[in-house]
Amino acid sequence: MLIVMDHSAQDCDVEQVKLAVREMGLRPEPIPGSERTAIGVLGNQGYIDDATIRNLSGVREVIHVSKPYKLVSRDFHPQPTVVRVGAVCIGDGHAPVMMAGPCSVESDVQMMASAEAVKQAGAQILRGGAFKPRTGPHSFQGMGVDGLKLLRQAGDAVQMPVVTEVMRIGQLDDVCRYADLLQIGARNMQNFDLLKEVGKLDFPVLLKRGMSATIEEFLAAAEYILAEGNSQVILCERGIRTFERATRNTLDLSVVPLVRQLSHLPIIVDPSHATGVRSLVPVMAKSALVAGAHGLMVEVHHDPARALCDGAQSLDGADFKQLMAELDGLHRYLDSAAMKTIA
């Protein structure tokens, strides 16, 4: 922590600050400058609250150097984490993993048809939402536990592990019974109680970035899960909210190489929610691969025109098959070329 004093701060102000720092069990180190004094704070073991300092007379600014996360940081844990979901491995040293399926489970027929389409195209993990977060209460809210069962059935039929969203602590038992990977959605990225409960499980978790979460907050959210003992966390970029409205969100692809530098956790990309526009999904999926994503999550529906949810951003089976073929070729090219400048 660095405390910056006002140009006009008095010596007694500086002494007050030094005293307050010592009361926190830390060591103040004044750095007198030509225009103002700054005071370095030494001895802290991590992120500290600055309230006691910020209030003192003559203090202009308090700058944090430590981050609100440590367990997820590559600085303290250089080895990459590989997360297993069934027999599928996600992380460094493994080929990018495709998670695909419909936005929401709608029926036996729809789920089975979609599962077969994504299996046949080569996806490794099946997705499908049983509990759906919707902006308004009058929209379709998902099939609930019945949806979980249909998802499981479809996964078993095509021999794929399944991922689905959990929205509340009370759903954890059910979701863990039927799914192989728990998804925490963007709106729940800072549902800290849910994160803590999930952290107590021995179960892989897919954590989506909140729509207005900084990378620092995103990693601090993952820290909640790791702090409880569960380090099987996969991060997922799914677009952030900006002033631009031509796309549903703004896909922040730079976060992929950046997270790979800052953290040891794997990161995947969801181009369907990020763009919200079907024709942009394949292009951005391939861009994400080149950006270094450890996997992708793509919405696929056997009949998008009749989807109850997010049909406008879903690929149909044929488009998805074409995309998978292209992704496969691209991955093999990138692998063979051994590009040095990939993150």
Output the CA torsion sign for 271, 272, 275, 280: positive
Both tokens of 7, joined, read 């140009």
Estimate the share of the chain in helix, then strand, then coil, as percent rounded to the nearest 5: 40, 20, 40
**Structural contact between residues 265 and 218, judged by C-beta atoms closer than 8 angstroms:** no
* Residue placing its CB nearer to its own copies in the complex, 22 or 168: 168
Q: CB neighbours of 169 closer than 8 A, spacing ≥ 6?
A: 193, 194, 197
**Which DSSP letter does residue 95 get?**
P
* Residue placing its CB nearer to its own copies in the complex, 94 or 187: 187
SS3 308: coil
Binding segment (CB under 8 A) for its own copies, from list 1-9, 79-87, 116-124, 153-161: 1-9
Using the rule CB under 8 A, which residue among 12, 15, 19, 65 binds its own copies? 65
* Residue placing its CB nearer to its own copies in the complex, 86 or 122: 122
Place of tokens 């080569």: 122
For β-strands 205-208 and 27-32, DSSP reports them as: unpaired
Question: Within 97-126, which residues bind its own copies (CB under 8 A)?
Answer: none
Q: How far is the CB of 180 from its own copies (least distance, A)?
A: 22
Question: Within 258-297, which residues bind its own copies (CB under 8 A)?
Answer: 258, 261, 274-275, 277-280, 282-284, 286-292
Output the CA torsion sign for 268, 270, 271, 275: negative
Q: What are phi and psi of 233, to 5 degrees?
A: -115, 130
Place of tokens 């004044």: 30
Work out whether 191 is an interface residue with its own copies (CB under 8 A).
Answer: yes
Question: Within 135-174, which residues bind its own copies (CB under 8 A)?
Answer: 135-141, 167-170
Binding segment (CB under 8 A) for its own copies, from list 144-152, 156-164, 172-180, 246-254: 246-254
Both tokens of 167, joined, read 């929205």
Place of tokens 């979609």: 114
Binding segment (CB under 8 A) for its own copies, from list 83-91, 115-123, 156-164, 207-215: 207-215
Using the rule CB under 8 A, which residue among 7, 22, 177, 200 binds its own copies? 7
Question: Within 36-55, which residues bind its own copies (CB under 8 A)?
Answer: 36, 38, 40, 42-47, 49-52, 54-55
* Residue placing its CB nearer to its own copies in the complex, 37 or 124: 37
Q: How far is the CB of 287 from its own copies (least distance, A)?
A: 4
Using the rule CB under 8 A, which residue among 196, 201, 203, 331 binds its own copies? 196
Place of tokens 């308004």: 136
Binding-site size, its own copies (CB under 8 A): 126
